[in-house]
A and B are shown apart, each in its own frame.
Chain A
Amino acid sequence: MNRYFYYHVLYVGMINVMLFVPHILIKERFDGSVAGILASILIGTFLSIVTIVSMRRFPRMGLPEILHRHFAPYVASPLVALAGLSWLVGAVLVIFSLTQTMGAFLNPEMNEYLFMALMVFAAMFAGSRSSRTVQFACEILVLLSLPLVALIMFKAVSNRQLNWDAIRVVAGHFRDLPSIKVIAAATFFFSGYMSLMLFNRLNPPDFKVRHLWTLPLLGTLFSLFTFFIPIGFHGTVAVEEYIYLWSVTADSMVMKFGFIQRVFFIFLVLYSILSLMFAMNTFHSAMEFFKACSPRYKPQPEQVPVPKINWILCACFGLVAFLYGIWANDEKNQRVTEIWLVCRFSLEIVTMLVVASLAVAAGRKPRASSPARAASPGE
């Protein structure tokens, strides 16, 4: 069960490319990005570990169940809905930027909305499955995409065109104070643990996330990689010219052998899989959270056949994604993404505070079996 948790960490750690995180960071590369990344390593690790350790107090419970257990419905339901909404917005943003990327790089002549319809349908179908299905699918998809990730990483690092001096120059600017936007963007590398808010339902009662030390390691790897490799390819100045920064960076690499020449297409395949996965997970989480707004709702991680309400909710999400696609353009989308990143960051802090304090409260109760466990670091 442990590995399922890490699949979420892995793909969320990589999906940031579709949410303009590299672009946001690069824009402030001379004033605070590096410090922001360093700070976010600390903040992200702290947030994730405290939340994970606190979640141990609530075996087999997702965030909605925890909230409903400790708060009255009129407090809990809006909070759950808010969390669901935050997932939903993430899904909508990723679907939009996936459509834009694919439209721009693969099928420029194709009708944008036709394209969006396909993506929305895929996310709808996948998101409306049961929680267990989503988890199984995550595993298979992550395992399928890992070789592609390894290939791209290898190609990037071993590339002779990569200018290490440029990277060193930018890395030297670590003394500037970062803005909140940068920190919010950079903490997104660590956000994979948030999936526990829903998928903790599936974990066995004595579940414990093991190998917690890998969390900061993975996050650091992803953040440094996403931030510095484009700088190495495009130079310290030219790098800010691109919105779809990583697509262009991937296009700077060539494979000498094989059917496919441009690494860029591998990158596109990888990111369409990752985005669809992200959309699946976020649609699913949002759906489950909205369903759990009612305090009487009982979570069912395994439901076959798929109930109608799943389809209805996901269809609504799809409609939202579609409407957003009609309203947004690249510029608006970017602004919304930045706002969302900051909101998500603050929500993560709130979640951490709520879950941790509830865990402490639960630990203080005399009937708690093992008080030693409550004394987790950071509380």
Chain B
Amino acid sequence: MLDEIKKKLGAPADLVAETMDNGFTKMEFCFFPSMCDIKQVKDGILVPFSYRFDPDEFKRMLKADVCFIDAPDPEEWVGMLLKGCALIKYEDRVYSFAAIRKMQQQPEDTEVEASLQGPQSAMTEDLDMNTYLIRLRYNVPTLTIEKLEKGDVSKTRLNILYDRDKVDLNSLEELKKRLDTVHTKLLQAAGQLGMLLGNARFSMFPNTIQSERPDRVAQFLQRGKIAILVDGSRFAVAMPVRFFDFMHAMDDDYEPFWMGRVIILFRYIGMLLSMTLPALYIAVASYNPEFVRVQLAFSIDGSRAAVPYPSFVEVFIMLFMIEALIEASIRLPRFVGSTAATVGGLILGQAAQQAGLVSSIMIIVTSVVAISNFVIPNSSFSYSIRAMKYVFVVAAIFYGMVGVIVTMFLIIVYLCHLRSFGQPYLALFLPSDEQSQKKSGA
């Protein structure tokens, strides 16, 4: 066995492959110490084989212990080793011992979807840990888990989770169809899978939702959605999604009802502002100053007095600045990040306006756009909204206020047109509808 494995792997330096001899009998033994949990290997193989050796007990252990799996097929050996199993050959039979090293032993803290008073634990980058976290929160016998591997090189493990009583069968079928078409070499993140599944190239809005919160995934499952856990990613991908899912934060469910509704309302207002405000600025400054109150029109025009170019140039300058600033503060190491924010803040603040490059109202517009964009709880959706505002800006450049209105109309129709795994993306469902739908379906 050892020679064959060495031949296939090219005898890497980190592979331990030895024939062990305890004085009574011999055993071939190989594993990657870097990928295995040494303690488990020691307790499970080395101790019983060396100073506690008893041939009968050892045999019984190999047969009965669920950790030891028969591995007669030489083709499988390398794959098992690479996953972190230890292989032993004892009395001409090969067994694999799963002693995979786990990085995570306990749930992490939420980082992306923070919550004030909700559960603070988030998923980890370990598939089994994540599955545990979800089973813990959604503890019903109907929770179904299907296993899958994707990625030609990475062989990433996936778990598909759904409640088989509540799941929409059409969506499940469509998901499986799409999963069959997914071909990639390296599958490293949940978002990547979401993109591959969701026809992202043709859609301006995300078709799947990612979440790092087990409580959120449990809620999704309870609502009949399907979740996919990807090994090595702390995010679960859930589908089918609706527009409203992206605007929903878990805190809304944990706070008093009306407080939650008010916050949601603010969030929608924020989303609208972040999408349309730059375009409205262009429309009011260059096309329809009469649209707003006279005093406001004057102050907008007054603040633009020193600016030597049309309003849309100004908008593009400032939007570029703010996008660059946001991008920089995400990517930069934390030590440098604050510097970027300070410098950017200085420029976006007084200096640009005093230099006559942009109007002071435009600075307010920019900050409102940035801040209200942060209000959106889901980051992939907030990317979409960030991109959407340029559509509005372009429409406003050519058509002014009418352009903004028509674009709004088109985006609503487009959102209604989208389907996420067969389910409508933007549509209101009232409880009575769902009942009648079920009735007519039955």
Contact = CB atoms under 8 A, between A and B. Distances in A.
A1 interface: yes
A269 B276 CA distance: 14
B138 interface: no
Interface string A1-20: 10100000000000000000
B402 A107 contact: yes
Contacts of A277: 409
A225 interface: no
Contact of A276 (B296, B406, B427): B406
B254 interface: no
Interface in B387-442: 398-403, 405-406, 409-410, 412-414, 416-417, 419, 424, 426-428, 430, 433, 436-437, 439-440
Contact of B409 (A110, A262, A276): A276
Given A137-B412, A140-B426, A261 B293 contact: yes
Contacts of B426: 136, 140
A28 interface: no
B405 A133 contact: no
A133 to B, nearest CB: 5
A179 to B, nearest CB: 36
Contacts of B437: 204
A185 B437 CA distance: 38
Contact of A272 (B402, B412, B416): B402
Contact of A122 (B292, B410, B419, B428): B410
B291 interface: yes
B288 interface: yes
A280 B424 CA distance: 19
B294 interface: yes
Interface string B259-303: 000000000000000000000000000011011111010000000
Interface SS of B by simple majority = helix
Given A1-B433, A265-B291, A107 B399 contact: yes
A262 B416 CA distance: 32
A113 to B, nearest CB: 13
Contacts of A118: 399, 402-403, 406
B413 A280 contact: yes
A260 B405 contact: no
A234 B240 CA distance: 54
Contact of A1 (B403, B409, B428, B436): B436
A260 B289 CA distance: 10
A65 B303 CA distance: 62
B399 A115 contact: yes
A126 B413 contact: yes
Q: Among A133, A139, A141, which residue has the most Cβ atoms of chain B within 10 A?
A: A133
A368 interface: no
A126 B402 CA distance: 17
Nearest to A257: B293
A139 B427 contact: yes
Contacts of B403: 118
A136 B427 contact: yes
Interface residues of A, number: 42
Contacts of A56: none
Nearest to A102: B402
B412 A119 contact: no
A277 B293 CA distance: 28
B357 to A, nearest CB: 26
Contacts of A115: 399, 402
Interface in B291-323: 291-294, 296
Interface in A113-167: 114-115, 118-119, 122, 125-126, 129-130, 132-134, 136-137, 139-141, 143-144
A106 B413 contact: no
A89 B340 CA distance: 58
Interface in B54-75: none
A129 B293 contact: no
B402 A136 contact: no
Interface in A233-267: 258-262, 265
Contacts of A78: none
Interface string B115-135: 000000000000000000000
B191 to A, nearest CB: 24
Interface in A253-303: 258-262, 265, 269, 272-273, 276-277, 280
B294 A106 contact: no
Contacts of B436: 1, 204
A259 B292 contact: yes
A331 interface: no
A163 B402 CA distance: 33
A304 interface: yes
A205 interface: yes
A122 B405 CA distance: 11
B405 A269 contact: yes
A125 B416 contact: no
B292 A106 contact: no
A304 B425 CA distance: 13
Given A106-B402, A118-B399, A259-B293, 10 more contacts: A106-B287, A107-B402, A122-B406, A136-B416, A139-B427, A141-B409, A141-B412, A260-B293, A272-B406, A304-B419
10 contacts: A106-B288, A107-B399, A126-B413, A133-B416, A136-B426, A137-B416, A137-B417, A141-B409, A141-B412, A144-B412
What 5 A-B pairs come out closest when comparing CB atoms?
A136-B416, A137-B416, A136-B427, A204-B440, A126-B413
Interface of A: 1, 3, 102, 106-107, 110, 114-115, 118-119, 122, 125-126, 129-130, 132-134, 136-137, 139-141, 143-144, 204-206, 258-262, 265, 269, 272-273, 276-277, 280, 304, 306
